[in-house]
Structure 1
Amino acid sequence: MNAPGPTPVEQTFVVTEDDTAAALGSGSLPVLATPRLLAWMEAATCAALEPAVGDGRTTVGTRVDLQHSAASPVGAEVVITADPSHADGRLHRLRVSARHTDGKVVATGEVTRVVVDVDRFLGRL
């Protein structure tokens, strides 16, 4: 029986003081930091690919294209969507987006991840 394929995922996060550019050192403003936004997007891509990854395997990020186009203040709810768009063997590309609950687009982009064998990957370090 084949493992199920990647599935679209939607996750919601609330911006806290710890998620701000000022807290993470990626700026001085109390708004959602791009590094935190990217981490949330990568978490969603991992969740989207998890059904397709077998035991002893995981995915690693290899490329990111992100356009962070709107600010999110502390307390804002940010909905992250990861939608698988391309697969070629172990390589997977996913369209990602972030929006406020009122529909305002915060960011769009693409994340590329590759399926690896955990033991083999760690054995190369």
Structure 2
Amino acid sequence: MDARDIITIGMSAERTLVVPPEQTVGHFVAGMPMVYATPMMILEMELASGDAIRGHLQPGWVTVGTEVDIRHLAATPVGATVRTTAKVIAVERRVIRFEVEAFDGERKIGDGRHARGLVNLASFNKRMGAK
């Protein structure tokens, strides 16, 4: 499958979550503040990117994260609502590139770029089973 045949620039998605204690730096590292952890923000950005294109993939195909270039700009406390957006900005044969952002209300807390690779799930699982 060639992503250029099915994915178009501008496809987008948005996710929201209320920051739980389990997604804070302090949950993972003792003594650190109980604020939204950078890896959790990146996860939401990856999930939003997948959401933006998932419905256009042929059966048996998925995308996997391959690149992240993210800035975490501001701390967000437990209980705050975070909105994460992803928009397709480039499409190659097997790679889809996204612009991603995260907001706490109107305040931008993160931004950057993310890429996802197009993968045939059966072939991928077969390769992984051989290892």
For these two proteins, the number of residue pairs brought into alignment is 122
Task: Tell me if structure 1 keeps the 8 A contact 2:24–2:37.
Answer: yes
Matching residue of 1:43: 47
- Which residue number in structure 2 is paired with residue 30 of structure 1? 34
Please give the per-residue CA displacement for 1:28-87, whole angstroms capped at 9, x wherever unaligned: 110000111111111101101202211001001110000001000001111100000000
Deviation of the 1:89 alpha carbon: 1.2
1:74 aligns with 2:61: no
Unaligned runs of 5+ in 2: none
Residues 68 and 115, structure 2, Cα contact 8 Å, conserved in 1? yes
Query: Does the CA-based 8 Å contact 1:94-1:111 persist in structure 2?
Result: yes
Please give the alpha-carbon distance, in whole angstroms, between the structure 2 residues aligned to 1:30 and 1:52: 38
Kindly indicate whether the alpha-carbon contact (under 8 Å) linking 2:95 and 2:115 is maintained by their aligned counterparts in 1: yes
- 1:52 is paired with a residue whose SS is coil
Structure 2 counterpart of 1:106, from 89, 94, 109: 109
Is structure 2 residue 7 aligned with structure 1 residue 5?
A: yes
Paired residue secondary structure (2:35) = coil
Question: How far apart are the structure 1 equivalents of 2:7 and 2:118?
Answer: 13
CA contact (8 A) 2:64 2:118 kept: yes
Partner residue in 2 for 1:89 = 93
Distance of aligned partners of 1:26 and 1:124 in 2 relative to their CA distance in 1, 3 Å threshold: farther
Distance in 2 (CA, whole Å) between partners of 1:27 and 1:123 is 43
Identity %: 33
Q: TM (normalized to structure 2)? A: 0.87
- Give the distance between the partners of 1:78 and 1:44, measured in 2 at CA: 12
RMSD: 1.6
TM-score between both structures, scaled by the size of structure 1: 0.91
Paired amino acid for 2:25: A
CA contact (8 A) 2:7 2:91 kept: no
Partner amino acid for 1:100? D
Q: What's 1:118 paired with?
A: 121
